[in-house]
Chains A and B, each alone.
Chain A
Amino acid sequence: MNELPQQLANGLILGAMYGLIAIGYTMVYGIVQLINFAHGEIFMVGGFGALTVWMVLPDGFGLGAAVPLMIIGGVLVSVAVGTAAERFAYRPLRGAPRLAPLITAIGLSIVLQQAVWMWFPDAKKDVPFPRFQGDPVDILGANIQRGDLFVLIAAPLCMIALGLFVNKTRSGRGMQATAQDPDTAKLMGINTDRIIVMAFAIGAAFAAVAAVAYGLKNGQVGFQMGFLMGLKAFTAAVLGGIGNIYGAMLGGIVLGVAESLATGYIGDIPGMDLFGGGAWKDVWAFALLILVLLFRPQGLLGERVADRA
């Protein structure tokens, strides 16, 4: 079997997940210029919310039927935590120096990790998450697991929904206006507080969808999973141009595919066998980020105000 389609598919699946999480970073940054470093943990609690739904469902409930309910459960938990974070951790600090909300965010992420660690049964270690059984599907020479189909379908659907929302609805236009100039938007009668909450909520909901994808894919969730995924998603957001929602998805996919290809092929280049392989993929991913930022500091799709969500 040719390895390339498989590696591309692996990268695409991973990247779509990064992209879904990256939306949350990018929207919040686009509107309030805040990097919500607790977003990785909002992703994490979404996974546990979905798992809770699965645990309370009666035995014999099919996973296919359960997934929509799990998404709803995960989204509810993530959105609740995300908006509460905005209300109690960030809003009081609006107008404070940039560093203050950043530190709050780091504190908040520790609080969320420890809360799950303490209160979720058995979550002191990784917890099993249900997976789809059955053989993988062959698409263009690549084996795709059933669970992975979920993210391949969910990511574009989420993007289309978000695009329609931002461009076609009143609230979406309010969001664009607030992103461009919060003060003028306020003068025009836009409730900017509501818009900001909405940005947090949408980001959290997407993160929850990504968390369900993560659980279905890896068969486990853990209280520490938000850190690495959050960092990667943040990188994806910067890579695509922070503040730009399509950039977030593109950045995620570029990052995922780069990781996959670096693992698969760099070791095969003569003289590079020491630098290939799984442990080096993060190095290559960040090298790519630096390269992009050197030549295109605004990211792949740019972060110009007018392009912002």
Chain B
Amino acid sequence: MRQRSIIAITAALAAGSLTLTACGSRDDDGGSSNGDKTTVVIGLDAPLSGDLSALGLGMKNSADLAAKTANKKEFVKGVEFKIEALDDQAQPSVGQQNAQKFISNKDVLGVVGPLNSSVSQQMQKPLNDAGLTQVSPANTGTELTQGDGWKTGDRVRQFKTFFRTATTDEIQGAFAADYLFNKAKLKKVYLIDDQKTYGAGLAASFKANFTKFGGKIVGTDHINPDDRDFNAVVAKIKKTGAQALYYGGEYPAAGPLSQQLKDSGQNIPLMGGDGIYSGEFPKLNKKAEGDLATSVGRPVEQLPSAKTFIADYKAAGYEDDYEAYGGLTYDATWAIIEAVKLAVEGNDGKVPSDGRKAVLDGMAKVKFDGVTGTISFDEFGDTTNHTMTAYKIKDNAWAPEFSGEPKLG
């Protein structure tokens, strides 16, 4: 009796697992049919939990909004877009697993994301090997597109499948240096970064440009982004007479860092990149007044092209704000949608059997007026839009101060 039931259970398990495997293997027709429409899946990878989830959830919703808008408008005839969102927890290893999941799903013709440059470094290669287009709305690490040689002018495109709607840290750091030295007239800056790809790259570019302008870096330090107590670092800044603190990193650590800086009696601003340009920053930091951040493009709120985006986002009733990368994510998703459109139009109105290749070919030709300005990509896959904006905290919220293209030092 007992033996028989074991056999029965084993058989049931085997049957079950076979059924599951069968579900997993699909015909390679470039998309499964959904009535008379073909479903095209766009993968989205972002931190949907953890410290940076405010930014990640804003990205997820914005990508979702782009897909819904395309479906509603029937932007690509006969194609229904669907977003598959995966959480990378801001961890490179998880991002790599997610990349594999996207690759193994034949319906995925493009991937939007991730947020962190360090995560992207692990996703680029597998996606490139699979010929799957990736458009990051937030990765600003310069070497992601141009290789480590960018510092010496030896620029080489790294991966043919990688594109981004965010500009590079080289430009972002230069813009911040330009702003602090030439606009705010501050000559002595203390430099801190969190040693991640994004933070360290940003700090390096800031340092190079700031010293070229003639400014002085009066001290440097690194912090652990998981820490929340920076009093020891802050005490060191005091004796250097710094007029500002430039921080390469993200808002979860920048908030307490800025607060503890002001607590220690040093009334100097903290400036950072788009990683601190989040609504969470002033929420977590009661002394943020006067702090500065740079972000890509013109302020979404000022652009006529963004009005519809903001209205649609509100109308869709998402629980979370679109945050720093909402507009750029919408544009990144839309770039893939445009590429799918080009692919479908070039194939008699059907999704080509080799959809991934067709989308990748289409990316070079993509050009449209997006939420953040005109979107197109240069020979490295970088956005051609170099406009940046400096924001300042006024009355506990980010207010745009100055927009322009950076003067490289």
- Interchain nearest-CB distance for B385 vs A (Å): 29
Contact A220-B236, Cβ < 8 Å, known A131-B286, A279-B195: no
Q: Is the CB of A3 within 8 A of B229?
A: no
A126 within 8 A of B: yes
A277 within 8 A of B: yes
Most chain A C-beta atoms within 10 Å of own C-beta, residue among B53, B226, B228, B264: B228
Among B96-104, B111-119, B143-151, B217-225, which stretch is in contact with chain A? B217-225
A interface residues, how many (CB within 8 angstroms)? 40
Question: In chain A between 1 and 58, which residues have their CB closer than 8 angstroms to a CB of chain B?
Answer: 1, 3, 6-7, 10-11, 13-14
In the bound assembly, the distance between CA atoms of A218 and B131 in angstroms comes to 46
Among B24-32, B252-260, B334-342, B354-362, which stretch is in contact with chain A? B252-260
Contact A219-B284, Cβ < 8 Å, known A10-B231, A277-B222: yes
Q: Is the CB of B284 within 8 A of A278?
A: no
Q: Is the CB of B229 within 8 A of A125?
A: no
In the bound assembly, the distance between CA atoms of A128 and B256 in angstroms comes to 11
- Interchain nearest-CB distance for A137 vs B (Å): 12
Contact A224-B50, Cβ < 8 Å, known A219-B286, A278-B223: yes
Q: Is the CB of A6 within 8 A of B284?
A: no
Q: Is the CB of A125 within 8 A of B256?
A: no
A308 within 8 A of B: no
Q: Is the CB of B54 within 8 A of A125?
A: yes
B interface residues, how many (CB within 8 angstroms)? 39
Q: Is the CB of A125 within 8 A of B222?
A: no
Q: Is the CB of A264 within 8 A of B232?
A: yes
A225 within 8 A of B: yes
B263 within 8 A of A: yes
Q: Is the CB of B230 within 8 A of A278?
A: yes
Q: Is the CB of A220 within 8 A of B256?
A: yes
- Interchain nearest-CB distance for B224 vs A (Å): 5
In the bound assembly, the distance between CA atoms of A11 and B230 in angstroms comes to 11
- Interchain nearest-CB distance for B321 vs A (Å): 11
Q: Is the CB of B226 within 8 A of A228?
A: yes
- Interchain nearest-CB distance for A77 vs B (Å): 21
A-B contact list, 17 entries, CB within 8 Å: A3-B236, A6-B231, A10-B229, A10-B231, A117-B49, A124-B54, A125-B51, A125-B54, A143-B265, A218-B256, A224-B50, A224-B51, A224-B226, A227-B226, A264-B235, A279-B222, A281-B224
Which 10 interchain pairs have the tightest Cβ spacing?
A: A263-B232, A279-B222, A278-B223, A10-B231, A277-B221, A260-B232, A278-B233, A6-B235, A218-B228, A124-B53
- Residues of A that sit less than 8 Å from B by CB: 1, 3, 6-7, 10-11, 13-14, 117, 124-126, 128, 131, 136, 143, 145, 214, 217-220, 222, 224-225, 227-228, 259-261, 263-264, 267, 276-282
What would 7 more interface pairs be, CB under 8 Å, given A125-B53, A279-B195?
A3-B235, A13-B231, A126-B284, A219-B286, A278-B221, A279-B194, A281-B224
